[in-house]
Amino acid sequence: MSDETDETITYLLEVEKETWRPWSNTVPRQTSLDTRLRTLIEQDLRASQKEISGDEVSGKTVSVMATRIRIRAMQAAESIREDDDETAHEQLDEIQDIADALEQ
């Protein structure tokens, strides 16, 4: 269901709890979930509008990988604040793996 005005669309979103809760935990506390969703929509739109040559990684793939890096970085920062060095180290290793995959 959606409502439209001249400037906005209101859309009811239904997400399974097993997906929503872990995702919402990746959003920094100072950022509202609404703001984060809007940012993701805008990033997805920009990625879909990029023209990438056949030799390069697709814009959508780069966007997804950048989002994964961003999420892991936020999780690592939270782990550091909670003095959980082992988890932070694992998350930083994941960031490195994603960045390595982008270089290939």
pLDDT for 17 equals 92
pLDDT band at 98 (very low <50, low <70, confident <90, very high): confident
3-state secondary structure 42-70: HHHHHHHHCCCCCCCCCHHHHHHHHHHHH
pLDDT for 52 equals 44
Displacement of CA 67 from its chain's centroid (Å): 4
Interval 19-30 mean pLDDT: 89
Report the alpha-carbon distance of residue 87 to residue 82 in Å, rounded. Answer: 10
Exposure of 75 in the CB half-sphere (CA atoms within 13 A)? 21
pLDDT for 31 equals 86
Report the alpha-carbon distance of residue 92 to residue 36 in Å, rounded. Answer: 22
pLDDT for 54 equals 44
Instruction: Summarize pLDDT for 34-75 with one digit per residue, the tens.
Output: 888 988 888 777 766 654 444 456 667 788 888 888 898 888
